[in-house]
Amino acid sequence: MKQDIFKISSSSSTLRRRLAPWCILAIPMACTIWLKYYPIFNAFYISLFKYDPINPPGKFVGLENYIGMFQMQYYWEAWKNSFVFLALQLSMCFFIPLIQALLLNELIKLQKCLTTLYILPALIPTSVNIIIWKWIWHPEYGIANQILNFFGCQPQAWLSDPNLVKFCIIFPGVLGGGLTVLLYLSAIQRISSDILESAALDGCTGFSKIIHIILPNISFMISIQAIMCVITTMQFLDAPYMYASGGPSGASTTQGIFIFNAFNQDLNYGRGSAASIILLLVIGILTLIQMHFEKTEKE
């Protein structure tokens, strides 16, 4: 009798342990599906209609929104700008936080103080930061042209020049800092001291230690940051819009701005939803490619 009671209580305890995680995750999972995945499927549904917000969903047009969008030169220019921004972001801003973290890790004194100084700029709202840099790039009284004048160079229009506007938008990120430095520094400091001591005994110091010891041991963090860099840059909206509203002459119009204008200026919800779905697919493909290369390197 006691054995039967023990078996029942044991099976009941096992069942509770199995059900507990599902009960805890039920509400978050439901909210994720409702707030994340439902809008995706709804956007695809809307993209198949000439959407009428007064009498939704409007006239069914199938893939007409996609076909019409693919025939727009403005759409392909937005893609070109998005990939140029991605190239600039990766070449100018991606590795600088890593270099800063490596230098901070070598400091013995003032490391915590300097780390705090790197984190503080991340607390400044994006809009405030952009206002400051728009003042720096101002063609008449901006600091950038004053520096050029000091070296005897011709002043530039900066944000009004189609050839310079992308550079002006990305350049503030060259200063680096922010949470990315802290993430890299934490990953470096988590490397086992035994590994570092063994490397030092074998004569692996300085630049060789960075290449052969530190970077391989934090490759997971570098991969994550690379994926996040691609995702955030391909969705670029706030900075190009606040700097130049997609101008001049569409030179800073990204896919984010194209989608924003389709919804808010053209009131073409079908086209905006179609552009959103294509952007989702492209980002998904780029992310899968990155993850494939990461898996191949580990093998």
> Which of helix, strand or coil describes residue 59?
strand
User: Could you tell me if residue 73 is inside a domain?
Assistant: yes
Which residues lie below 8 Å from residue 83, measured CB to CB, with a gap of 6+? none
241-291, pLDDT tens digit by residue?
999 888 888 899 999 999 999 999 888 999 999 999 999 999 999 988 888
- Confidence label for 66 from pLDDT (cuts 50, 70 and 90): very high
> So what's the pLDDT on residue 69?
93
User: Could you tell me if residue 290 is inside a domain?
Assistant: yes
The amino acid at residue 187 is A
1-51, pLDDT tens digit by residue?
445 554 555 566 676 777 777 888 888 888 888 988 998 999 999 999 998
User: Could you tell me if residue 144 is inside a domain?
Assistant: yes
Distances 78 to 12, 244, 253 between C-alpha atoms, Å: 59, 14, 5
User: Could you tell me if residue 2 is inside a domain?
Assistant: no
106-127, pLDDT tens digit by residue?
887 777 777 777 777 777 888 8
User: Could you tell me if residue 54 is inside a domain?
Assistant: no
Domain containing 147 equals 68-298
User: Could you tell me if residue 161 is inside a domain?
Assistant: yes
Residue 139, preceding bond cis, omega within 30 degrees? no
Distances 240 to 3, 64, 159 between C-alpha atoms, Å: 71, 29, 10
The amino acid at residue 23 is C
CATH of the domain at 218: 1.10.3720.10
What domain count does the chain have?
1
The rounded mean pLDDT for the chain is 85
218-255, pLDDT tens digit by residue?
888 888 888 888 999 999 988 899 998 888 888 999 99
User: Could you tell me if residue 14 is inside a domain?
Assistant: no
> So what's the pLDDT on residue 6?
47
